[in-house]
Amino acid sequence: MEKYFEDLDTMINPIKKEISSAIEIGCGEGHVTKHINDMGINIEGADLYGKIVDTARILHPSIKFNVISLYELSNHNKSYDLVLATEVLEHLDDPERAIKEMIKSSQKYIFLSVPNDILFRLANIFRLRYLCDLGNTPGHVNHWSEVSFREFLERQRLSKIQLKCSTLWLMAICEVRADIYDH
């Protein structure tokens, strides 16, 4: 995870001064949320599952965490300079709808990370995990390569897409175009 956080920093640091508020949706136990908070960015975390939000609150008591579905993020009636979804899109039946919700809730940027599918599956196979599913992690219903992830993001009409391969993950920081976001 050290490399993941180093690469995350290289993508967030250039825009850090432009961010006064952020949310990580699908935050799990809040480790990425805490990392962003430690960078000096005012962030809150949200996840669909109350139990995991309770755990995040215990682990990181100085950060605000709420139970929110990514599919209903814009109903939260709040906008942010940065909306993050790390290791979330691969689990969703409708990732396009999720991106639309993120766009509605972001004033400036969206950060996404997903498994680099081929490498992620190979790593699982080398660890002798999920062999019956050819290394596919349970719950992963979407699979991207660097090329297919870029194409997916371009179809969402995001601009200035910066994509980075971080070992087993693909990371993207994208600007939200003013003509497509709707509050």
Q: What angle do CA 60, 92, 82 make, to 5 degrees?
A: 50
What is the per-residue pLDDT for 99? 95
Whether pTM > 0.75 for this model: the answer is yes
User: Cα separations (Å) of 77 from 2, 83, 99, 105, 148?
Assistant: 34, 14, 16, 8, 32
Q: What is the pLDDT of residues 22-40, one digit of tens each?
A: 999 999 999 999 999 999 9
What is the per-residue pLDDT for 183? 44
Question: What's the CATH number for 2-175?
Answer: 3.40.50.150
Cα torsion angle, 142, 19, 9, 7, sign = positive
Q: Cα–Cα distance between 51 and 125 in angstroms, integer? A: 30
Domain boundaries, the chain: 2-175
User: Which residue in this structure is represented by tokens 């004033």?
Assistant: 107
Contacts of the segment 52-56: beta carbons below 8 A, 24+ positions apart: 52/28, 55/29, 55/30, 56/27, 56/28, 56/29, 56/30
Q: What is the pLDDT of residues 135-147, one digit of tens each?
A: 888 888 999 999 9
Pick out the chain residues at pLDDT < 70. 178-183
Q: What is the pLDDT of residues 88-101, one digit of tens each?
A: 999 999 999 999 99
What is the per-residue pLDDT for 181? 45
